[in-house]
Amino acid sequence: MFESIAGDPLHLLHLEDSPLDHDLVRRTLQRSGLSFSLDRVDTLDEFVTLSTSERFDAVLADYQLTGFTAIDAWRALPDAARRVPMILLSGAIGEAAAVAAIKLGYSDYLPKDDLGRLPHVLQRAIESNQTRLAKERSEAELAHSESRLAGFAAHLQTAIEQERASIAREIHDDIGGALAAAKLDLARIRRHLSAPASLSHLDAATEMLQHALGASQRIMMNLRPALLEEGLVPALEWLVSSFERRTGISALLRATLVRQDLAPDIGLVAYRTAQEALTNVTKHAHCSRVRVELSDTGHALTLEVSDNGRGFSPGKRSKRHSFGLEGLHERARSIGGWLDVSSREGGGTSITLTVPLSDLAQDTA
């Protein structure tokens, strides 16, 4: 014996134009000890009205009724009503008709001369439907959670970029200004000194200030490259040349960018992708050559960063250092693009960002 999820008697609907057959079904279910209620309808309009106005745990349906069939009954139902398990309970209708009904959406088929199996078939249909609905709820909740997580990730990236821009401005206005002023003061002092020892100390201090100015400018560019205001290509040229000077790794940029109206968020994501890819090269690639290619042919922006380093196996993508790549995947998704990572041990690594431009290129957000 079994009951509905809530523990209440099962509420069943019987589409049947024979009172005798309806009574046989009722007595069969009663003998099984099942707690239930069984409503009978024999017209298509009544069936649709009752199916949509009340909640049933299952529907039992004869195949051939006066003026319509069980197939017609299924097709007349709205989608919400079709989520209730429906069992075809009929005389001999032929294998083809039974298979067609099952393919259409009926849960099962049981001949009327085998009513003894009805409780078991009914239980199986209801439990299978409950499992399906639970799976759909879980998938919907998971999709909702993933959507919220993606939204949070996008918000977090925006907040990070805003904070980077704010810090870069502070470094430029406060630290950079103070260092430049100190350098000018040292230059004025030097003009009034002649002692070799003092001049030597001033030269050392000036050199340190120059180093600090260079470091502050480099930090500002890494935080928020001002060159992006001039375009993606100039920003990438600075990034690649800076990478080559800093690491000693041969780096080549080849850019064939036709469009000049890239949305700011696309340019920023492309720049950050190249920046993160080059950072990964520095940390993990052990390579001697890096190639950065940028193009916007075929209504899509494509950025590829490839190296001739040691590469990695697919299993290493799940390790901790892959979080940077996962962040790039999220960045790409935030602007409607995608990221492909191709690598094999000893065969180098290639990171490719692709962003459709047909719609996004007009976005100036």
Residue 83: how many other CB atoms lie within 10 Å? 14
Q: Which region among 74-83, 133-142, 195-204, 344-353 has the lowest average model confidence (pLDDT)?
A: 195-204
Q: Which region among 2-6, 57-61, 100-104, 233-237 has the lowest average model confidence (pLDDT)?
A: 2-6
- Mention every residue, 6+ apart, whose C-beta is less than 8 A from residue 20: none
For residue 281, what is the DSSP state?
A: I
Annotate 106-165 with DSSP letters as a single string.
--EEEEGGGGGGHHHHHHHHHHHHHHHHHHHHHHHHHHHHHHHHHHHHHHHHHHHHHHHH
From 248, 246, 252, 296, select the one nearest 274 (Cα to Cα): 252
pLDDT band at 8 (very low <50, low <70, confident <90, very high): confident
Q: What's the whole-model pTM score?
A: 0.54
Question: Which domains are seen in the chain, by residue range?
Answer: 10-138 (3.40.50.2300), 226-365 (3.30.565.10)
Higher pLDDT residue, 120 or 175?
120
pLDDT, one tens digit per residue, over 216-259 is 877 877 777 777 888 899 999 999 999 999 999 999 999 998 88
Report for 166-170, 200-204, 223-227: range of highest mean pLDDT: 200-204
Residue 269: how many other CB atoms lie within 10 Å? 25
**Predicted pLDDT at 323:** 63
Annotate 319-340 with DSSP letters as a single string.
SGGGHHHHHHHHHHHHTT-EEE
**Predicted pLDDT at 76:** 94
Say how far apart CA 276 and CA 262 lie, in whole Å.
20
Say how far apart CA 7 and CA 9 lie, in whole Å.
7
pLDDT, one tens digit per residue, over 107-159 is 999 999 899 999 999 999 999 999 998 999 999 999 888 788 777 776 777 77
pLDDT, one tens digit per residue, over 274-308 is 999 999 999 888 999 999 999 998 789 999 999 99
**Predicted pLDDT at 318:** 52
Say how far apart CA 351 and CA 280 lie, in whole Å.
10
Amino acid at position 302, single letter: T
**Predicted pLDDT at 127:** 92
Q: Does the structure show a pLDDT above 50 at 6? A: no
Is the distance from CB of 57 to CB of 12 less than 8 angstroms?
yes
Token pair belonging to 254 = 């080849």
Q: Does the structure show a pLDDT above 60 at 364? A: no
What mean pLDDT, rounded, does the chain reach?
86
Token pair belonging to 25 = 């079904």
Tell the burial category of 341 from Cβ atoms under 10 Å away from its Cβ (0-12, 13-18, 19+).
middle
